Amino acid sequence: MGAQGNQDGTVGKALDVLDMVALAGRPVRFSDLLATSAYPKATLYRFLQTLTHQGMLTLDPDRGTYALGVRLVRLAHAAWQQSSLAPLARPYLDELAAETGETIHLAQMDMGQVLYVDKRNAARPVEMFSSAGKVGPAYCTGVGKAMLAHLPDDALQAVLSRQSFHVFTPHTYASPDALRAELAAIRQRGHAFDREEHEPGIICVAVPILTRQGRVIGAISVTSTTQRTTLDVLEAQADRIKETAARIAAEAESWRFPEQDKA
């Protein structure tokens, strides 16, 4: 459950520490981390030193607390631009948002979780990182299920074993088996629903973004509330959403990359 448990030599461990700080969600002192971590004092200390020196962490000298460093913000800017679907999907999402008038999400898979990389809000304009970068569960969100449905067996297996299957609402699928059946239906149908499985009153239709070879690279969803509409009404948009997904996929396929002349 925790962030612990991987192993990739020294680098892996260091990144582990980074995650620990991220997970804490607030500046933490050395001793806080020491309590959490499996590493001995000296080792942990060295990692913190290194990461701080590298700008991945910052040490507030007044309070002696560590927090994630700004270098990450810079890296993420690049990551978001160069390897998320967001930049190239933007115009299509704008269009879709305008047509539907509902909230649009663009998500990708990250370590068994759904990572939202962009969002169009009907009402107010996008808030910076506050929406991009958020993570959510895969087994009980529209985009999550849409992606799971098209994962190869072995990958699916791996992801499923990581899910918590926490029951959020009466509609949440609580076990891998129940979910698997649903996934088959989704694969067949080409789109997934969220029937208030994550939050009461929130429903959505989600569509996977697939490469020509059938690899999932992301998903988009149109979300609304039970007060405003019904799943049937939303489903009527499904073909429109699939079209958008297809266009994004096509773009992604062609768009890598403008060519280069070698140095």
- Window 13-42: residues binding DNA (CB under 7 A): 13, 29-31, 34, 39-42
Looking up tokens 């390897």, which residue turns up?
83
Largest CA distance in the chain: 60
Beta-ladder partners of 66: 28, 59
Convert residues 110-149 into a mask of x (bound to a copy of itself by CB under 8 A) and - (unbound).
xx---x-xx------xxxxxx-xxxx--------------
| 263 counts as binding DNA under rule CB under 7 A | no
187 interacts with, out of DNA, a copy of itself, none, CB within 5 to 8 A per kind: none
119 or 145: CB nearest a copy of itself = 119
68 binds a copy of itself (CB under 8 A): yes
Residue 157, interface with DNA (CB under 7 A)? Answer: no
Residues near a copy of itself (CB under 8 A), total: 72
Look at strands 202-210 and 216-225 and give their pairing.
antiparallel
The piece of 45-53, 117-125, 228-236, 252-260 that touches DNA (CB under 7 A) is 45-53
Residue 149: which of a copy of itself, DNA, none does it interact with, CB under 5 to 8 A by kind? none
Q: Is 47 in the site for a copy of itself (CB under 8 A)?
A: yes
User: For residue 124, what are the contacts with CB-CB under 8 A and spacing of at least 6?
Assistant: none
Question: Per-residue DSSP letters for 241-261?
Answer: HHHHHHHHHHHHHHTS-----
Residue 52 and residue 59 in contact, taking contact as beta carbons nearer than 8 Å: yes
Task: For residue 5, state whether it binds DNA (rule: CB under 7 A).
Answer: no
Is the distance from CB of 146 to CB of 170 less than 8 angstroms?
A: no
Binding track over 48-87 against DNA, x by CB under 7 A: ----------------x-----------------------
Least distance from C-beta 34 to DNA, angstroms? Answer: 7
142: closest CA among 116, 123, 163, 122?
116
Beta bridge partners, 120, equal 104
Tokens found for residue 53 = 């020196």
For residue 2, the tally of other CB atoms under 10 A from its CB is 11
Number of other residues whose CB lies within 10 A of the CB of residue 88 = 16
97 binds a copy of itself (CB under 8 A): no
Q: Could you tell me which residues come within 8 angstroms of residue 129 by beta carbon, excluding any fewer than 6 positions away?
A: none
Compare residues 15 and 76 and give the one whose CB is closer to DNA. 15
Residue 163 makes contact with a copy of itself by CB under 8 A: no
| SS3 track for 77-124 | HHHHHHHCCHHHHHHHHHHHHHHHCCEEEEEEEECCEEEEEEEECCCC
Binding of residue 26 to a copy of itself (CB under 8 A): yes
Residue 43 contact among DNA, a copy of itself, none, beta carbon within 5 to 8 Å by kind: DNA
Of 72-80, 146-154, 194-202, 231-239, which part binds a copy of itself (CB under 8 A)? Answer: 72-80
66 vs 92 by CB, closer to DNA: 66
Contact set with DNA (CB under 7 A): 9-11, 13, 29-31, 34, 39-43, 45-47, 64
